[in-house]
Amino acid sequence: MEYQILNTSTCLLVLLVFIPAGLGICPSSCKCSGNDRNVDCSGRNLTELPQGLQDNLTYLNLSFNQFVDLDHQLTRFTNLRTLDISNNWLKNVPAHLPKSLWELYATNNNIKVLQKLDTAYQWNLRVLDVSRNMVERAVLINNTLSSLKFLNLSSNKLWTVPTNMPYNIETVDLSNNFLSQILPGTLVRLQHLTSLYLHNNKFSYIPDKAFDQLSQLQVITLYNNPWACSDNQNIPYVLRWVRGTAARVAGAPCAQPPPAGTAPAPEQPTAPRSGPTVEGAKAAEREAPEPAKATKTHKQFKAEEAPPSATPRQPAPLPGAQRPRPRSPDGPQEAAATRTVLLQGSAEGSAGPGPATASSTTPVTLSITSGMPTNYSKVPRSTSATFRKEEATPSGADAHVPSRAGRWHAGLLWLALLHAVARAVD
C-alpha cells in the first residue's frame, strides 16, 4: 500500500513539473498577453518558430523576421484569429493554415503566385493582405472565401484583374500594378463592392459594361493610368460611366489635368469611408475664408511716442507680446498678450493720452486676455484688461519738499546740539 502511494506521489510530481511545459509558456523571444494567447514575436530575426507556443493562440505576430518557409507549421493553432507574417522572406503563403483565421497579413515578402490552395476553404477569413510582393498571378475560389471583405493585392506585378473574387467582398485594392485589362464577367457579381482602387496601373480603356453591376460602389480611383483619350471606339464607355455614377471618382480619365506640382490625394484602402470625409474637409478648406490675422482678432494698443526729454529710453515690450498663443484644435483655449506701453499723464496719475507736459511718462504694463479662457466659469465672458501703474518719480519743485521722517531727524539733531551747548556752559 505504501509502495502504491509513493508511486502515485511520484507521478503527480512529474505531472506538476512537466505539464506546464507541455501546455506551453511564453517563449523568451516573444511578448505575451491574455493568458499567453496573444503572442508578439516580431523583429527578433527568427528563422524557426519559437518553442513553447500554446496550441490555443488567438493572435500571432511573426513579422519582421527571417522566415523562408512556414508550411505545415501553423496548422495546430486551431483557435488562431489573426496571423501577421509580413516583412519576411516567404516565397509563398504558408500551406495548411488553420481554418479559424479571420485576418492574414503577408505583406512585403517574396510571394510570386497566390495559388488557389493558399486560401482554399478559409470560410472565416475576412482580411487578406498580400500587398508589396511580386505576385504575377492570383487564383481565388469565390465559394470558399464567403466571409472575405477586404482584399489587398496592391504593389505587385499583376497584369489582369483577378477573377473569381468572393461575391461578398467590399474593398479591393489593386493599385500600383501593371493592370491593363479586365476580363468579361470579372466584376459582374460583386454586388457588395464599395471601394475599388485601380490607380497607378496601365489601363488605356475599360471594357464595355465592366462597371455596370457595381451598384454599391462608393469610391473608385483611376488616376495615373495611360488612358487612350483619342480612341473613339473604347474610351467612350468609361467616360459615360464616370459622368453617370454616384460613386466618387478620383482621377477621371481624360479630364483636365491638375496644375503643375499637384497630385491626387492618396487613398486609404484600410478605411475606405474616410475618402469622402477627407475630400469634403479639403473642399471646406478651399471655400472657407482666410483666417483673420492676429492684428484683426486681438486688440492692439499703440502708445504715443514720448518726447526725448521725458525719459531717456523706452521700456522694451515683453517677449512674445506681439504673438498671442494659438488656439488648440481640441477647443477654445485662453489666448493672452502682454505688452508694456507708455502713457502720458498728469502728476495725479491720469492715464488718458494727451499732449506732453512737464510730468514724467509712466510705463504701464498692459495685460489683455481674449478668447475663451480655461477657467471660463471664474471670469467674466467679456474681454478683460488689467492695468498696473507704477508710482511716479517726484520731479521739479516737489523733489525738494522734506519728508516727515526728515523733519524728525533734523529736530533730534537740534536737541542733541542744544544739550551739548548747555553742558559746556555749566
Is residue 321 within 8 A of residue 339, CB to CB? The reply is: yes
Is residue 76 within 8 A of residue 53, CB to CB? The reply is: no
**Is there a domain that residue 162 lies in?**
yes
Cell numbers 516727515: residue: 404
Cell numbers 493610368: residue: 225
| pLDDT attached to residue 142 | 83
Is residue 44 within 8 A of residue 23, CB to CB? The reply is: no
**Is there a domain that residue 302 lies in?**
no
Is residue 142 within 8 A of residue 166, CB to CB? The reply is: yes
**Is there a domain that residue 213 lies in?**
yes
Cα 134 to the center of its chain, rounded Å: 30
- Choose among 156, 165, 104, 115: nearest CA to 132: 156
Residue range(s) defining the domain that contains residue 236: 111-257
| pLDDT attached to residue 366 | 40
Residue-wise DSSP of 268-302: -TTSTTHHHHHHHHHHHHHHSPPPPPHHHHS----
Is residue 249 within 8 A of residue 276, CB to CB? The reply is: no
Helix (H, G, I), strand (E, B) or coil at 195: strand
| Gap between the terminal Cα atoms of the chain | 132
Q: Which residues pair with 40 in a beta bridge?
A: 31, 61
Rg (CA), the chain: 41
Question: Residues near 343 by Cβ (< 8 Å), separated by ≥ 6?
Answer: 303, 351, 353, 361, 362, 364
Looking at the structure of the chain, the number of domains it has is 1
Write down the pTM of the prediction. Answer: 0.59
Per-residue cell: 394 = 517726484
| pLDDT attached to residue 421 | 81
Per-residue cell: 129 = 493582405
**Is there a domain that residue 189 lies in?**
yes
- In CATH, what number is assigned to the domain containing residue 157? 3.80.10.10
**Is there a domain that residue 331 lies in?**
no
CA distance 190 to 214: 7
- Taking only the tens of pLDDT, the chain with its 426 residues reads 444 544 555 544 444 444 444 455 899 999 999 998 999 999 999 999 999 899 999 999 999 999 999 999 999 999 999 999 999 999 999 999 999 999 999 999 999 999 988 888 899 999 999 999 999 999 998 888 999 999 999 999 999 999 999 999 999 999 999 999 999 999 999 999 999 999 999 999 999 999 999 999 999 999 999 999 999 999 999 999 999 999 999 999 998 655 455 455 555 565 333 333 333 333 334 444 444 444 343 334 333 444 444 444 444 443 433 333 333 334 333 333 444 444 444 444 444 444 444 444 445 444 433 333 444 344 334 333 333 444 444 444 444 444 455 566 677 888 888 888 888 776
Helix (H, G, I), strand (E, B) or coil at 239: helix
**Is there a domain that residue 179 lies in?**
yes
Question: Residues near 391 by Cβ (< 8 Å), separated by ≥ 6?
Answer: none
**Is there a domain that residue 312 lies in?**
no
Is residue 43 within 8 A of residue 65, CB to CB? The reply is: yes
Q: Which residue type is seen at 229? A: C
| pLDDT attached to residue 418 | 84
| pLDDT attached to residue 347 | 41
**Is there a domain that residue 202 lies in?**
yes
Which CA distances in Å does 76 have to 98, 148, 319? 7, 22, 67
CA distance 343 to 352: 7
